[in-house]
Amino acid sequence: MSTIDRYDYIIVGGGSSACVVAAKLVREGRAKVLLLERGPAKANPIMHFPAGYMKFLAKDTYLSMHQTKPQPQLNGRGPIVPQGKVLGGGSTVNAMVYMRGQAADFDLWNELATSEGSNDGAWSYADLLPYFKEQEDNDHLAGEFHGVGGPLKISHLGHTSPMTRTYIKTLQGMEIPYNPDFNGARQFGVGFMQHTIDWRTRKRSSSVDAFLAPVMNNPLLTIETEATVTSLEMNGDQVTGVRYVQKGTSKQADAGKEVILAAGAYQTPKLLMLSGIGPEDELTRHGLKTVVALPGVGKNLQDHYECPVVATTKGSFGYYGQDRGWPMIKAGLQYLMFKSGPVSTTGVETCAFYDPDGNNDRPTIQMFCVPTVYLDRDVMGTEPGDGVTINSLLLRPKARGSVTLASKDPFDNPIVDTRIFGHPDDLRLTMAAFRFARTVLDASPMRDLIEKEIFPGPDVTSDDAVAAHCKRTVKTGYHPVGTCKMGRDSDQEAVLDLNLRVRGTRSLRVVDASMMPAIVSGNTNAAVMAAAGKAADLILA
């Protein structure tokens, strides 16, 4: 063991929340901070291009592939859930969608986290909106809901496909109104999605670019990559530091003030349990001594799940074939010379929010239009080609999964039990959304571009057949949250208090997506960053 280094704060994980917190602690708190990331320091430069992430979707270069537990209700399927494994985490590898969710999501957080009858709006939408705005530099929106001049660049994409524009027009004809701002007063509607892309350079604006880069050379900040934290160091209930392994060498670091966990909804509960903090029966099963019995660690897992309908088209209205040969070269040159064309898009440019049950003040489905044939890696049955995939994503599943230990080896991935469709309403809403997506394909002007439905095929119509299709094809939205939720003192499964401190311990907090008591209604990165901004203020208070 080498010499023990000492810091004010140690941050475990280098994703979006870690970057936000580290920057604020250094810049405003003038604190000495160590940030530990298990992945590399940088991704391939192509990942800065809006279309670049697609080259790495099925690779483990910057992703940790979590093979989830086989699900009986999915006939034994256990979908793979990738998580970012590089400095910047998901913000370095994701599809860059900037979607906050609904105001009611955060008001629910507040209700679940504050004492009954309390007027404290600590986690309400009104409380978090200033953090969203403070972080944001939007290229065309301002006013009540948006910020200008912040570090995080937000813009629309530099290119949209004919299929995208047709989809938006079609849904307006189906009584789903055009919504110019999903992050504004109301989410219901169809429109173009905002993205974390710098409109000047047409490059990704990751959490590293926005928050960490401005303090990267500050001597108060130390960043160690390819460093896997193996356990927390504790003195009774006081967390004093961490042990980690970097390139085969065991190291230790001490924190004079706090250790801050930001390793994500899978790795954060795993590290707590490896350190003796968690459900007593789970720790005993692996021969681990219980230091703090917290039954909620690893519980309450939520994610977004989506199911597709796929059709071929009468021509090329999307992006099939644009990633190879002369079309790829031409698109690359156009992007490098003019910052425009297919490379300036993520490929998924639009979505619609609605509720199949009719409560459009609180949409339950996010319906994406993918202008090509797109299926998850474990689903076979169609060949790539010109076409369109409409994915219906369930925003607030009622089923709750869990994260448990596979072993006490810190290098083993945990066991992820997703419990997809574990509640009947989740399957019911997904089936209803699938049926509605089919009607979109058959509505004008969309139907003018459609050749035929190829997956699952027009003969799949009965409830049993549609349910079987959903179970066969359901995939992750890449948004796991909730495994160390904050909650009231009376909630036996609340891991964190209102200030994100781990109950039963001192000098330990969680600031990543694990803290969410309930998943937000949309892509999670924006909410994670806003919550981390608030978390940094709580730490410095």
Local structure of 130: helix, strand or coil: helix
Local structure of 323: helix, strand or coil: coil
Q: Report the candidate in 106, 94, 100, 124 with the shortest Cα–Cα distance to residue 182.
A: 100
Beta-bridge partners for 192 = 350
| Rounded Cα gap, residues 314 and 287, in angstroms | 61
Whether 479 is catalytic is yes
Active-site annotation holder among 48, 146, 469, 479? 479
CB atoms within 10 A of CB 184: 14
> Is 390 exposed, middle or buried (CB count within 10 Å of its CB: 0-12, 13-18, 19+)?
buried
CB atoms within 10 A of CB 297: 31
| Rounded Cα gap, residues 488 and 231, in angstroms | 27
Q: In 424-516, which ranges are E strands?
A: 450-455, 475-476, 508-510
| Planar angle of CA 40, 513, 474, nearest 5 degrees | 90
| Rounded Cα gap, residues 185 and 104, in angstroms | 11
| Rounded Cα gap, residues 492 and 226, in angstroms | 36
| Rounded Cα gap, residues 205 and 199, in angstroms | 10
Joined together, the tokens standing for residue 332 give: 């690359």
426-451 residues labelled b (16+ CB within 10 A) or e (exposed): bbebbbbbbebbbebbeeeebeebbe
229 close to 40: Cβ distance less than 8 angstroms: no
Longest dimension (CA), the chain: 69
Beta-bridge partners for 34 = 10, 222
Q: Is the peptide bond before 445 cis (omega within 30 degrees of 0)?
A: yes
User: Which residues 6+ apart lie within 8 Å of 409 measured at CB?
Assistant: none
Joined together, the tokens standing for residue 232 give: 């927390």
194 close to 463: Cβ distance less than 8 angstroms: no
| Rounded Cα gap, residues 218 and 216, in angstroms | 6
Local structure of 255: helix, strand or coil: strand
Q: Report the candidate in 239, 117, 107 with the shortest Cα–Cα distance to residue 520.
A: 107
> What residues are labeled active site?
479
